[in-house]
Amino acid sequence: MKNRKVIGAASAAALALGLMGTAVAPAAATGPETSYLVLAPQGKSTKAAAARVAAAGGTVVAAYNQIGVLVAKSTNTAFSAAVAGAGVESVASTAGLGTTLMDDEASDVVDSTTVEATGDPTAEPLWGQQWDMAQIDVAEAHAVTTGDPSVVVGVLDSGISPTHPDLASQIAFDQSASCIGGVVDTSVAAWSPTTSDHGTHVAGTIAGAINGVGIAGVAPGVKVASVKVVNDDGFIFPEAAICAYLWAADHDMPITNNSYFIDPWEFNCVNDERQRPVWQAVQRALRYSSAQGTLTVASAGNSNVDLQHKFIDSTSPNDGSSPIEDRTINGACRDLPAEAPGVVTVSAVGPTEQKSYYSSYGQGVVDVTAPGGDTRFRTNGAVSTLTDGILSTTYNTATQTNGWGYKQGTSMAGPHAAGVAALALSAHPGLTTGQLASFLERTATPLACPDGVFEPRPGWPATCTGGQRNGFYGAGNVNALNVVQ
């Protein structure tokens, strides 16, 4: 009411001035309703920023006071300029800043029989096709622990099927939510998959149940929470990711898995006026998350890019808003969240523990590697061998049927690392986020750089730098057995 009085008084004053011969300011032009991130100065209240949003003709739809960030909507085409001023550090429209999930090669559904559950992961019907689990010693780790159910891994993705036979018992329903639009919705329908089964596949790798059907996950004793950040058009917007980081941190999730990048430009440039507020808001959210005890695990990306030496981005934007173009970039441009401080960044390897042809890499950027699949290495890129991908849980959104199938990508490597982190925390409770990240690295199996230019698929060359810790594999391949001992 107070704001309306102020605005009314201002309008009356303008009318009086008009009667005295001074032109009345034109009404604000209106356009489509647009979402904005509005940042208060670091460490300051959002009260003044919220007042400026209202005065500029906007509505606050979510207030993340923990980090001084508001999500606002407005039809005022001059909203960004109008909201600027005391109490507002920066503002950015998120229109056009939606990115699609990382591309993953997928196969048809694989059938599973049902057998008697024995508690042994190797007795699961599809275990024989899970080369990835054997590679990181999952069965041996399960002889020590399958994970503690108090450990909940947040799957920031496209939703998890709540009816999947390998996942229904594994979901923390009370900690699951949708963050679409930057606004929390805890209804099951809101956080379930609608157009993509990507999150369902990721969840199975982390915690698929040992129940006599389908596959076994890395840590089937832990729980997963569906934190949906992918809208029905298949896009992830910055406000959804920020909402998800805070939801996970405030709802006792010690680990989150993030298989995406923020912004349709693969690299978010802090020296770009449009992108800077996004970078600032994401950084605040990630710092808060870490301080609350949440470790962020992120995929390195599927562009075969050296993240240490970025010069040309030839894969963006990936939202279909405009043609892909070559963009010169520098050290101010980073892949978010993979290159944010405190994040465990994961590259991908195939069945022979060589870098997957598509996996991005970079000395000092990649922390560890994990199985992500490589369907092209056997044929030098000629044809795809789908069984060299990662087998996990799937959900057909058209027919609403659950199943199992293969995908490949660093999106599949990330959940292996997240699952191993969950086992580590189960075996060694009390580890801080920094200690957990360090423990993952210290227990990884070192992998040496290949000699010369590595090009398992023609047209995808890469060069590895470093010694025992290197650009392809970081500290090495995560190992489930090593972290539980």
Write out the catalytic residue numbers. Answer: 157, 198, 411
Contact between 128 and 404 under an 8 Å Cβ cutoff? The reply is no
Residue with tokens 């227990």, as numbered in its chain: 443
**Which of 37, 14, 38, 36 has its CA nearest to residue 26?**
14
Q: How far apart are CA 470 and CA 475, in angstroms?
A: 7
Q: What angle do CA 51, 55, 56 make, to 5 degrees?
A: 115
Within 10 Å of residue 485's Cβ, how many Cβ atoms? 11
Distance CA 157, CA 29 (A): 36
Contact 217, 419 (CB under 8 A): yes
Helix (H, G, I), strand (E, B) or coil at 180: helix
Other beta carbons within 10 Å of 1: 5
For 293, left (φ over 0), alpha (ψ -120 to 50), or beta? left
Return the closest-CA partner of residue 405 out of 221, 164, 174. 164
Percent helix, percent strand, percent coil in the chain, to nearest 5: 30, 25, 50
Which residues lie below 8 Å from residue 6, measured CB to CB, with a gap of 6+?
55
DSSP-assigned letters across all residues of 230-259: B-TTSEE-HHHHHHHHHHHHHTT-SEEEE-
Whether the CB-CB separation of 330 and 310 falls below 8 Å is answered with yes
* First-to-last C-alpha distance (Å) of the chain: 62
Q: What does each C-alpha distance from 414 to 199, 369, 396 come to in angstroms?
A: 12, 8, 22
**Distance between CA atoms of residues 153 and 49, nearest Å:** 33
How far apart are the C-alpha atoms of 265 and 193, rounded to whole Å?
25
Q: How many CB atoms lie within 10 A of CB 446?
A: 13
Residue 134: CB partners within 8 Å, gap ≥ 6? none
